[in-house]
């Protein structure tokens, strides 16, 4: 569920390293974590997925990407394995 202080992302240029995001496929949350790097020209973003504890490459054309409010960034970065 997306709240008023979360932003749906339309392209990689709206993201930067450290942004906390959630990725949805349909209505299902499939990835969550901080952005580590972006490939602007390819529409790809790397995150440290806190749901699986691994690094993930996401294609923003295949997922709905939501940037979380700033106060989530420290929680996501400091919570490996959650």
Closest by CA position to 57, among listed 39, 72, 77: 39
Q: Specify which residues 47 forms β-bridges with.
A: 35, 56
- Residue 2 reports pLDDT greater than 90: no
3-state SS assignment for residue 33? strand
3 compared with 21, residue with greater pLDDT: 21
Tens-place pLDDT, residues 7-56: 899 998 999 999 999 999 999 999 999 999 999 889 999 999 998 899 99
pTM of the model: 0.79
Q: Residue 18 — φ and ψ, nearest 5°?
A: 100, -20
């Amino acid at each position: 569920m997306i709240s008023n202080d979360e932003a749906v992302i339309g392209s990689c240029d709206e993201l930067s390293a450290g942004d906390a995001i959630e990725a949805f496929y349909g209505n299902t949350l499939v990835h969550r974590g901080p952005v580590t790097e972006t490939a602007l020209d390819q529409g790809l973003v790397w995150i440290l997925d806190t749901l699986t504890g691994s690094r993930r490459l996401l294609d923003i054309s295949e997922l709905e990407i939501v940037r979380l409010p700033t106060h989530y960034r420290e929680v996501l970065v400091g919570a490996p394995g959650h």
